[in-house]
C-alpha cells in the first residue's frame, strides 16, 4: 500500500481547528493552564496527538514500512518516537529485541541517539527515558526493553539477532544495502511484531523501488515543505543548497525517485553499482580544476576534484571540494594548494579557456613549486564527457564514499543534459581528471597497453 502524499495536519492541529479559527499563543496557554498536571503530562507524551499523518505507525498487516521524504520532513522524529512506542508496548514488542541501524555506528550514535532535538534521548517520553551504554551499543528503557545499536557497514553485527522491530535509517547509503536487507536483516526480524521501518531520502536503486511495490510494504512520506515544525533557517538553507538544481530538489526536497533525466549521460546505477569505501595503491593523484571566473550569486561553482589512478588501471574519485570561492583574494588557489599538499597529488590540472595564464599565475603565487598543467577545451562539454561516461558504464571509475559524500557531483552526472545552459563544473572537473589519467595522449604514451585507453581505440 502506497500512501505517499502531502500530509495535512497533525491530530492536535485538527482538534484545535475544529473549534473555529486556529488558536493564538494566548489561547494555547489558557488551554494548557486548564489542564491538570496529569493531563499535561499525558498530552506531552502522546506522539500520535502531535504526529503528522505520514509519521504515524500504519494500521493493518505489513512487513515493512517505508517512510520516504525530503530532507527535514520529519523522518527522524517519526522513527525515534515510533521506537519509544514499540518499546513501551509489550504486546507489540513480544519477547524480541529492538534495533536501530544506520550507515555506521557513529552515524547512529550522533544522528539517532544523541541529536539534541530529534534524537532518541531527546524525544523520550517523560519518565520513559532509556539509558545508553555507548561501549556496548545498547539502549535500555525503564521497563527492560532493549534496543541494539547496529550499522549497515558491519552486517555481521545484525546477523543472528532475534528482533521484533528494526529501524533502518537512510538505508540507500549503506554499503551493499540490497544484500544486507535480504540476506541479513530480514532473517533477523522474526519475533513478536516482526516488522521493519525504513526512513530515507530516496536514491534510484531498482531493488528499493521494487520493494515499495511489494504487497507487504506500506509507503508514506512528505516533502520538506510539509513539516510545519521545520525551523525557518533550516528551510532557507535547503532552498539555497538546491536553488537552480531542479532535479536534485525533486529528490532531496520532494522525496521523489530520480533515476536519470532524459538526455543525461549516465544513470545513477552506473555510479552506485561501482561505489567503494576503499581504494588500491595509486599510481598518481590528480587535483582537477574547472575554475569559475566570477564570484556572485549567479556565478558557476569552481569544480575541484581529487582523483586517483589506481595500479589496477581504474579511476577513483577521492574527494569533491567544489564550491564558490572568493576570486579576488585567491581563496580558490589556496584551497587547491592545500588539497595538493594534503593528498600529495602528483599534478594539478586546470582548464584555462577563460582564465588563461591568470590561473597558473594565481596558483604559483600561493605555491611556486606546484606541479601544474593547463588544459584547454577544444571540444564541447558533451564531447569531452561522453568517453568518461562510458568508463562509468563499464565500471572503470569508482566513487570512494557514500552518495551523501558526492551528492551534488552525482546529481550532475545523472541530471545534466548536454546543451543545457547551466554548466556542470563538478562533472567537468572529473572529466578533465579522467581524461588526463586514462584517455589523453600522455596517458596513451605512458601505458599504451592499458585496457582503459585501448577500449577507445588507443
- For every residue of 229-253, DSSP letters joined together read TS-HHHHHHHHHHTTT-HHHHHHHT
Q: Which letter, b or e, does each residue of 399-422 get, where b requires 16 or more Cβ atoms within 10 Å of its Cβ? A: bbbbbeebbbbbbbbbbbeeeeee
Tell me the per-residue pLDDT of 69-88, one tens digit each, with 9 for 90 and over. 888 888 999 999 999 999 99
Q: All 3 cell numbers of residue 9?
A: 495536519
Mean pLDDT is lowest, of 198-207, 386-395, 443-452, for 443-452
State mean pLDDT over 219-243.
85
Confidence of residue 167 (pLDDT cuts 50, 70, 90): very high
Collect all residues with Cβ–Cβ distance below 8 Å to 230 and sequence separation of at least 6.
Answer: 72, 73, 74, 224
> What local confidence, expressed as pLDDT, does residue 132 receive?
97
Residue 24 has pLDDT above 90, yes or no: no
Q: Does residue 382 carry a pLDDT above 50? A: yes
C-alpha to C-alpha distance for 177 and 407, rounded to whole angstroms: 18
Q: Is the pLDDT score of 206 beyond 90?
A: no
Closest CA to 308 of 273, 350, 346, 268: 346
d(CA 123, CA 109): 15
The grid coordinates listed for 293 are 571566473
Q: Is the pLDDT of residue 13 over 60?
A: no
Task: Give the CA dihedral 114, 118, 122, 124, nearest 10 degrees.
Answer: -120
- Report yes or no: 4 and 68 within 8 Å, Cβ to Cβ: yes
Sign of CA dihedral 75, 81, 82, 83: positive
Higher-confidence residue of 295 and 50: namely 50
310-330: average pLDDT = 90
pLDDT in tens, 133-149: 999 999 999 999 999 99
If you average pLDDT over residues 49-57, what whole number do you get? 86
How far is it, in rounded angstroms, from Cα 454 to Cα 450? 6
The percentage of residues in the chain with a pLDDT greater than 90, rounded to a whole number, is 48
Question: What average pLDDT does this structure show over 103-131?
Answer: 92
pLDDT for position 23:
60
| The most confident of 253-267, 305-319, 358-372, 423-437, by mean pLDDT | 305-319
> Rg (Cα) of the chain, in Å, rounded?
25
Compute the average pLDDT of residues 190-197.
Answer: 94
Kindly report the average pLDDT of the chain as a whole number: 84
Is residue 303 within 8 Å of residue 322, measured between CB atoms?
Answer: yes
pLDDT of residue 128: 93
Amino acid at each position: 500500500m502506497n500512501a505517499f502524499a502531502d500530509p495535512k495536519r497533525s491530530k492536535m492541529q485538527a482538534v484545535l481547528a475544529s473549534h473555529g479559527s486556529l488558536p493564538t499563543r494566548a489561547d494555547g496557554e489558557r488551554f494548557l493552564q486548564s489542564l491538570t498536571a496529569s493531563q499535561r503530562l499525558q498530552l506531552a507524551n502522546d506522539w500520535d496527538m502531535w504526529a503528522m499523518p505520514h509519521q504515524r505507525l500504519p494500521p493493518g498487516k505489513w512487513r515493512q514500512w517505508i517512510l520516504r521524504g525530503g530532507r527535514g520532513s520529519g523522518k527522524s522524529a517519526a522513527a525515534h518516537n515510533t521506537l519509544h512506542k514499540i518499546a513501551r508496548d509489550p504486546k507489540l514488542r513480544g519477547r524480541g529485541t529492538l534495533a536501530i541501524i544506520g550507515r555506521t555506528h557513529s552515524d547512529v550514535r550522533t544522528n539517532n541517539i544523541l541529536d539534541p532535538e530529534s534524537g532518541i534521548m531527546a524525544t523520550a517520553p517523560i519518565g520513559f527515558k532509556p539509558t545508553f551504554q555507548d561501549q556496548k551499543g545498547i539502549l535500555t528503557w525503564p521497563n527492560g526493553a532493549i534496543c541494539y545499536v547496529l550499522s549497515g557497514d558491519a552486517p555481521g553485527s545484525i546477523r543472528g539477532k532475534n528482533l521484533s522491530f528494526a529501524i533502518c535509517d537512510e538505508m540507500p547509503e549503506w554499503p551493499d544495502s540490497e544484500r544486507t536487507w535480504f540476506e541479513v536483516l530480514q532473517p533477523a526480524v522474526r519475533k513478536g511484531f516482526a516488522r521493519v521501518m525504513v526512513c530515507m531520502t530516496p536514491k534510484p536503486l531498482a531493488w528499493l523501488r521494487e520493494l515499495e511495490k511489494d504487497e507487504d510494504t506500506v509507503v508514506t512520506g512528505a516533502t520538506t515543505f510539509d513539516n510545519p515544525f521545520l525551523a525557518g533557517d533550516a528551510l532557507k538553507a535547503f532552498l539555497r543548497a538546491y536553488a537552480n538544481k531542479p532535479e536534485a530538489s525533486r529528490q532531496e526536497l520532494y522525496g521523489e525517485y530520480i533515476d536519470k533525466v532524459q538526455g543525461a549521460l549516465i544513470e545513477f546505477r552506473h555510479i552506485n553499482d561501482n561505489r567503494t569505501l576503499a581504494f588500491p595503491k595509486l599510481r598518481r593523484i590528480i587535483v582537477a580544476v574547472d575554475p569559475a571566473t566570477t564570484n556572485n550569486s549567479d556565478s558557476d561553482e569552481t569544480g575541484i576534484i581529487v582523483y586517483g589512478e589506481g595500479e589496477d588501471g581504474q579511476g577513483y574519485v577521492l574527494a569533491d571540494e567544489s564550491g564558490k570561492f572568493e576570486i579576488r583574494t585567491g581563496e580558490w588557489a589556496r584551497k587547491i594548494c592545500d588539497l595538493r599538499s594534503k593528498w600529495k597529488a602528483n599534478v594539478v590540472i586546470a582548464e584555462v579557456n577563460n582564465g588563461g595564464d591568470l590561473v597558473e599565475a594565481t596558483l604559483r603565487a600561493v605555491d611556486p613549486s606546484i606541479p601544474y598543467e593547463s588544459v584547454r577545451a577544444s571540444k564541447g562539454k558533451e564531447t569531452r564527457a561522453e568517453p568518461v561516461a562510458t568508463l562509468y558504464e563499464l565500471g572503470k571509475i569508482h566513487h570512494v564514499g557514500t552518495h551523501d559524500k558526492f551528492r551534488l557531483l552525482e546529481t550532475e552526472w545523472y541530471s545534466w543534459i548536454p546543451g543545457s545552459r547551466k554548466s556542470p563544473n563538478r562533472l567537468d572537473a572529473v572529466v578533465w581528471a579522467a581524461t588526463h589519467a586514462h584517455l589523453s595522449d600522455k596517458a596513451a604514451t605512458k601505458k599504451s597497453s592499458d585496457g582503459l585507453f585501448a577500449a577507445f581505440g588507443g
